[in-house]
A and B are shown apart, each in its own frame.
Chain A
Amino acid sequence: SQTIHQWPATLVQPVGSPLSLECTVEGTSNPNLYWYRQAAGRGLQLLFYSVGIGQISSEVPQNLSASRPQDRQFILSSKKLLLSDSGFYLCAWAGGVRLEQYFGPGTRLTVT
């Protein structure tokens, strides 16, 4: 069966510090991968999605970037965090032609 992992689970970072969040998927190959951000009590904001290694589409211009160095690995990065980057970051995957999308457990990021 397929499993999606995210780490770390929680993170507290000062303003201006770098960020690296990692997501990996097991049990499938060539998944579509997604990064979402969810502000407290709010909806899901799509940040990036990827349909293959090195193929990244950005939905929201900001100080975040994403990379996909391996087929089942998706990384969200920032060189300098802002207070507004605080939120719940969710990674998700979908299996090619199948449309079901599955979410990871999330990373709670607090920028102080």
Chain B
Amino acid sequence: QQQVKQSPQSLIVQKGGISIINCAYENTAFDYFPWYQQFPGKGPALLIAIRPDVSEKKEGRFTISFNKSAKQFSLHIMDSQPGDSATYFCAAVTSGTYKYIFGTGTRLKVLA
């Protein structure tokens, strides 16, 4: 019940296309859902996050869509660029528990 299932494991997208990464959870106590971007040899960087009281959050080319009833959330990268090639992790956390549950990661490659 503490798991966050992330898919796909890897993704190849053409430049200018839309990249979509999905995550699903079971624990309804989760109330914060961040996405992280990690380049090789670097620490993950917080990209965008959402609370369950909204269904969508957009920051530039990055959008989180959140479906509370389905217990799913996804990251959409519009107009994908080669510089977006990285590994993306979703996560979920419950306020006050201090523990972040991470998905297994998606390796995105954007072809020029």
Contact = CB atoms under 8 A, between A and B. Distances in A.
Interface residues of A, number: 22
Contact of B98 (A42, A94, A100): A94
B43 to A, nearest CB: 4
B42 A43 contact: no
> Number of contact residues on B: which range applies?
20 to 34
B47 to A, nearest CB: 11
Contact of A101 (B42, B46, B103, B104): B46
A101 B34 CA distance: 9
Nearest to A45: B102
B41 to A, nearest CB: 7
Interface string A78-104: 000000000000101010010111111
Given A99-B95, A100-B49, A101-B34, A46 B100 contact: yes
Given A105-B42, A105-B43, A108-B41, A100 B99 contact: no
Given A101-B34, A106-B42, 9 more contacts: A41-B107, A44-B102, A49-B99, A97-B95, A99-B93, A101-B100, A104-B43, A106-B43, A108-B41
Interface of A: 32, 34, 41-44, 46, 49, 51, 90, 92, 94, 97, 99-106, 108
